[in-house]
Amino acid sequence: MNVLAIGCHPDDIEIACAGTLAKCVERGDRVIACHVSAGDLGHVIIPPEELTLIRREEARKAGAEAGVEVIHADFTDLNIFDSGKEARDQLVDIIRYAQPDFIITHNPDDYMPDHTAVSRLVFDASFTATLPNYTDYKHVYSAPDCPPAKLVPIYYMDTLAGVNFIPEEFVDISDQIDLKIRMLEHHESQLVWMREHDGIDFADMVRTCSRYRGYQCGAAYAEGFRQCKVYLKGTTKRLLP
């Protein structure tokens, strides 16, 4: 299968679904992680232009840990709006490139506007990408003769610290938890800053949340998901690993 995870910032995927993606790679899936925003406002001291390059390399290293292909859209923090054609078209291009069998993205009810905008854009673009005659977009990843994508299920990944999120499906990541944390810790620009200046051990928080989800489903560690429930996006198959 082809699996596409679309997160907003370069560490969002590692926080919420890296164990699941690693497990998909292990079963033989082609897995692509896309970061929509550069994460350029994610530091108090490092300027945006420098931070963009740092976070892109951190994301590449994190993906390499698990054999995940990492790509990115061309937006900066707080400049993603779910009503924008340009943003939707970039995701159409990415979805057609990935040709996913299912998509993972942010929960529509999340804690910050960039996350909720990305969630809505994925919903819109995943439909638009299926229309054969929709060709009015710039090709960055997909070839000009790329076929339309399939209309596929969307899974919403956990919110930060699990706030206001009740999973409907779980993935046991007990064997992947250490890999998940290693992937997360490649995002040094975020984790080191929070440890030194905010007193937050973010990796420990992510491990703890995975442990809590594990308690809910009888596993040592787990990640939780909800499925987008709209016409033609349901399935009788178990797609998550």
% of the chain beyond a pLDDT of 70: 100
pTM: 0.96
Which H/E stretch holds residue 72? strand 69-75
Pairing of strands 222-227, 102-105: unpaired
Cα separation, 87 vs 74, in Å, equals 9
Work out the pLDDT band at 199, boundaries 50, 70, 90: confident
What digits encode the pLDDT tens for the residues 170-188? 999 999 999 999 999 999 9
Q: Which two tokens stand for residue 60?
A: 């590449």
d(CA 232, CA 229) in angstroms, rounded, equals 9
Q: What is the pLDDT of residues 43-101, one digit of tens each?
A: 888 888 998 999 999 999 999 999 999 999 989 888 898 888 999 999 999 999 999 99
Quote the pLDDT of residue 150: 97
Q: What is the mean pLDDT of the chain?
A: 95
What Å distances lie between residue 123 and 82, 101, 211, 215, 231, CA to CA? 10, 14, 29, 30, 12
Residue 193: pLDDT over 90? no
pLDDT over 90 at 32, yes or no:
yes
Helix or strand holding residue 127 (H, E): helix 113-128
